[in-house]
Amino acid sequence: MKATAFAPVNVALIKYWGKRDEKLRLPVNSSLSVNLTKMGTVTTVAWVKGLKQDEADERMIKHLDRIRGLAKINFKAKVVTQNNFPVAAGLSSSASGFAALTLAATAAAGLKMSEKELSRLARLGSGSACRSIPNGWVEWVKGKDDFTSYAKTIFPTRHWDLRILVVILSQQEKKVSSTDGQELAKTSAFFKERVKGIDQKIIKIKQAIKEKNFREIGVIMEEDCLNMHAVMLTSQPSLIYWLPETVRVIQAIREWREQGLESYFTINTGQNVFVFCEPNNEDQLVDKLSHLRGVIEVRRERVGLGARLLA
The closest alpha carbon to 39, from 4, 85, 6, 80, belongs to: 85
Residues that bind ligand DP6 (CB under 6 A): 12, 15-17, 25, 31, 92, 94-95, 126-128, 178-179, 182, 268-269
Cβ proximity to ligand DP6: between 157 and 269 the closer is 269
Cβ proximity to ligand DP6: between 3 and 34 the closer is 34
| First-residue to last-residue Cα distance in the chain | 11
Closest approach of ligand DP6 to the CB of residue 189, in Å: 19
Closest approach of ligand DP6 to the CB of residue 272, in Å: 11
The Cα 295–Cα 273 span in angstroms is 10
Number of Cβ within 10 Å of residue 207's Cβ equals 12
CB-based contact 116:152 (threshold 8 Å): yes
Q: How far is CA 204 from CA 114, 194, 210, 221, 301, in A?
A: 29, 15, 10, 11, 24
Cβ proximity to ligand DP6: between 33 and 44 the closer is 33
Cβ proximity to ligand DP6: between 27 and 282 the closer is 27
Closest approach of ligand DP6 to the CB of residue 48, in Å: 27
Cβ proximity to ligand DP6: between 95 and 208 the closer is 95
Closest approach of ligand DP6 to the CB of residue 267, in Å: 8
Closest approach of ligand DP6 to the CB of residue 290, in Å: 24
Q: What is the DSSP letter of 240?
A: -
CB-based contact 172:89 (threshold 8 Å): yes
Total residues found in the chain within this entry: 311
Cβ proximity to ligand DP6: between 28 and 46 the closer is 28
Q: Are strands 137-141 and 31-48 parallel, antiparallel or unpaired?
A: antiparallel
Number of Cβ within 10 Å of residue 89's Cβ equals 21
Cβ proximity to ligand DP6: between 15 and 201 the closer is 15
The Cα 116–Cα 109 span in angstroms is 18
Closest approach of ligand DP6 to the CB of residue 36, in Å: 12
Alpha-carbon Rg of the chain, whole angstroms?
19
Q: What is the DSSP letter of 128?
A: G
Cβ proximity to ligand DP6: between 46 and 95 the closer is 95
Q: What is the DSSP letter of 237?
A: S
Closest approach of ligand DP6 to the CB of residue 8, in Å: 13
Angle between helix 93-108 and helix 115-125 axes, rounded to 10 deg: 120
Which stretches within 212-266 are classed as H helix? 214-233, 244-258
Closest approach of ligand DP6 to the CB of residue 89, in Å: 12
